[in-house]
Amino acid sequence: MSAIRIEELRKVFGAFTALDGLSLTVEEGAVFGFLGPNGAGKTTTIRILTGLAHASGGHAWVTGNEVTSNGHEIARHIGYLPEDPAFYTWMTPLEFLDYVGRVFHYHGTERSKRVKELIQQAGLEEAAKRRIGGFSRGMRQRLGLAQALFNRPQILFLDEPASALDPAGRKEVLDFIEQQRGQCTVFMSTHILADVERVCDTVGIINRGKLVISSPREALLERYAIPAFEVEVDTQSMAGINQWSESLGRQPWVKSISVEGQVARVIVNNLEVAKRELLTTVNQAGLILTRYEMLRSSLEDVFLRLVEQEEVRP
C-alpha cells in the first residue's frame, strides 16, 4: 500500500515553475530519500504534502487522504521537521515537548510518559533541563525530530535534516532517523548523497521539478553501475604497466583504461569476461600484483550520470 501518491503535481511561482508534472509513489514503511540539486523542487513538494502550500495543479494523497481536501485529517497522522526549525529558546526540552504534547491533546501521565520517551530517544537526557538557546545545531535537530515524532506519525517528513551539521552532529541525526525504520514511513529530502546511501532503502531523484527516477537503492546502484576494476602493481612492475595497458585497451571487453603511477583503472563492457580474463592478462604481462579490486558504484556516480542525462535533454 502507498503512504504517499503524487500525480502530475505542478507548482508555479510567477514565471518560475517549481514542480512540472511530478508523479511519485512512496510505499508504506519505506525510508525514502528524495534527492536532488538545490532548487530542484524538494522543499516545495514537502510543503504541499504537509499542507503548508497549495499546488497549482495535479493531485497528491498522504495516508490515503487527498491533501487538497483532508488537510486536518492528514495533520493528525504526520510529523514534520523543516530545514531550519524554530524553538522557544528560553524553554528547556522538557518544557518544549510538554507544550507540543498539549498541542496534540495528550493529557497528564500519558503526556509526561511520551516526553520522557522522546528525550531518551533523542539522547537529550543530560540536557533535558537546559535552555534550548544554548544547544548545538545537532542537539536542536534531534529535539526537532523528537517533536516531529510526538504524535507517533504514520509518515515523518524531513527537509534537509542534516545539511548544516558537522560530522558528529550528522551522525547523531542519521542514527536517530535510522531508529525510525519499521516505526513509520520516512520521507527525507536532501542533496547530500552520502546521507541517502547510509539510511534510505528507496531513492527518488528530482531535477527541475520532474522525477528523474524512483527505485530501491540497491536496484538503482546495480542498474546504473559502471563496471570497473583497479589494478595496482609493485614498483618493480611500473616499467611494464603502460605496455600492458596499451595491449589491454585493444580487448573488445575493455571500454577504457587509465594509468596513474602504479594503479590502472579499467572500465569494461562485459563484466563476466573481465572477471575471467583481467587477472590472466596481468600474469601474462609478468606484472607483480599488489591489489586487485572490482569497484562498486556509489550513489553519487548514479546521481551525477542521471542528472547530467536529464540536463542534456531538450
- Tens of pLDDT, residue by residue over 194-231, are 888 889 999 999 999 999 999 998 888 878 777 889 99
Per-run averaged pLDDT (10 residues), the chain, 314 residues: 93 94 95 91 95 93 85 87 92 96 93 95 94 93 95 96 85 90 94 88 93 90 82 87 92 92 90 92 92 82 75 55
C-alpha Rg value of the chain to the nearest Å: 25
CATH class of 2-216: alpha beta
Beta-carbon contacts of 292 under 8 Å, excluding residues fewer than 6 positions away, are 229, 230, 231, 232, 278, 279, 282
**What one-character DSSP code corresponds to residue 12?**
E
H or E segment to which residue 151 belongs: none
Please give the Cα distance from 253 to 250 (Å, whole number): 9
Fold of domain 228-295 = Alpha-Beta Plaits (3.30.70)
d(CA 209, CA 77): 26
Question: Cα–Cα distance between 295 and 235 in angstroms, integer?
Answer: 22
Q: Is 93 helix (H, G, I), strand (E, B) or coil?
A: helix
- Domain ranges within the chain, ordered by starting residue: 2-216, 228-295
Do residues 115 and 94 make contact, with C-beta atoms less than 8 angstroms apart? Answer: yes
Q: What is the pLDDT of residues 109-133, one digit of tens each?
A: 999 999 999 999 999 999 999 999 9
pLDDT at res. 220? 86
CA 208 to chain centroid: 18
Long-range contacts of 48-51 (CB under 8 A, 24+ apart): 48/9, 48/11, 48/19, 49/4, 49/6, 49/157, 49/187, 50/74, 50/78, 50/80, 50/157, 51/75
Locate the DSSP E strands across the chain: 2-13, 16-27, 31-35, 57-62, 65-66, 78-81, 155-159, 185-190, 202-207, 210-216, 228-233, 254-260, 263-268, 289-295
Task: Give the model's pLDDT for residue 311.
Answer: 62
Among 65, 36, 39, 37, which Cα is nearest to 51's?
65
Q: Residue 139: which of 186, 92, 180 has the closest Cα?
A: 92
> pLDDT value at position 202?
94
**pLDDT at res. 295:** 82
Exposed / middle / buried, residue 100 (Cβ in 10 Å: 0-12, 13-18, 19+): buried
Amino acid 113: pLDDT: 96
Q: Is 145 helix (H, G, I), strand (E, B) or coil?
A: helix
Cα-to-chain-centroid distance, residue 279? 36
Instruction: Let me know how long the chain is.
Output: 314
Question: Grid coordinates representing 62?
Answer: 498522504
